[in-house]
């Protein structure tokens, strides 16, 4: 629906809030991995889930580790974290992991810490609270991405177009926040309240 498209002003406020939240999450992950982390300033978009699925067709890797964690509250949805096979293997080397199960556990922990700290900080900036479910993980060939149940539940996705980059380890990941129209409307109302307070 057109009224659920973010205006440029709303997008600017959300981008600033996301910068704060992403910086906080990056610091937590850097401490967890004992490695210096850098990040690009995120470019924020709110798009239809169908549009996101089309972008996956442009990715070079044949499969990605896909982990997700649902969050609930006034603002609710699911944080999805993608890490490609090369980055996953580099993570395994950095943490000196010996088995696939250990790698799955490490990606789950990375997802849990990254998405929960990101979403918690964002919720804090929006003056609300969120709760979390346990994260789950799967390895998804890109030609099967349309079958992932998570993408069938939600209508909108907040694309955080940035990369969490640990340069020495070359561990890169991308985050998407999947949500529904009601949460986007709630978010728009909150962003406009912040804009009004700035005037």
The per-residue pLDDT for range 116-162, each reduced to its tens digit, is 888 898 899 999 999 999 888 887 776 677 777 777 888 888 887 66
Tokens representing 119 are 């979403």
Angle at 31 between CA 29 and CA 36, to 5 degrees: 85
The per-residue pLDDT for range 96-110, each reduced to its tens digit, is 888 888 888 888 888
Tokens representing 7 are 């205006």
% residues pLDDT > 70 (the chain): 86
**Number of other CB atoms surrounding residue 125 within 10 Å:** 18
Lowest mean pLDDT among 30-34, 85-89, 188-192: 30-34
Cα 120 to the center of its chain, rounded Å: 12
pLDDT confidence of residue 1: 44
Compute the mean pLDDT over every residue in the chain, rounded to the nearest whole number. 82
Task: Count how many Cα atoms sit within 13 Å of the Cα of residue 168 in the half-sphere of its side chain.
Answer: 9
- Which has more confidence, 60 or 149? 149
Tokens representing 81 are 């974290």
* CA–CA distance, 143 with 126 (Å, rounded to integer): 37
Are the CB atoms for 111 and 135 separated by under 8 Å?
A: yes
Length of the chain: 199
Integer-rounded Cα Rg, in Å, for the chain is 17
* CA–CA distance, 2 with 17 (Å, rounded to integer): 23
- How sure is the predictor about 72, in pLDDT bands with cuts at 50, 70 and 90? very high
Phi, psi angle pair for 98, to nearest 5°: -110, -15
């Amino acid at each position: 629906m057109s009224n659920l498209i973010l205006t440029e002003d709303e997008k600017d406020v959300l981008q600033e809030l996301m910068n704060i939240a992403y910086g906080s999450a990056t610091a937590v992950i850097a401490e967890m991995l004992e490695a210096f982390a850098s990040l690009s300033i995120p470019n924020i978009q709110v798009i239809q889930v169908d549009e996101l699925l089309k972008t996956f067709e442009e990715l070079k890797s044949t499969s990605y580790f896909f982990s997700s964690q649902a969050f609930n509250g006034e603002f609710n949805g699911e944080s999805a974290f993608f890490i490609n096979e090369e980055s996953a293997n580099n993570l395994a080397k950095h943490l000196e992991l010996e088995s696939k199960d250990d790698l799955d556990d490490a990606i789950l922990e990375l997802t849990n810490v990254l998405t929960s700290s990101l979403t918690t900080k964002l919720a804090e900036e929006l003056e609300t609270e969120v709760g979390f479910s346990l994260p789950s993980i799967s390895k998804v060939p890109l030609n099967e991405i349309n079958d992932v149940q998570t993408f069938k539940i939600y209508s909108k996705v907040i694309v955080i177009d940035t990369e969490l980059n640990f340069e020495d380890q070359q561990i890169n990941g991308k985050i998407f926040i999947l949500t529904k129209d009601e949460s986007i409307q709630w978010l728009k109302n909150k962003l406009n309240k912040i804009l009004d307070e700035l005037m």
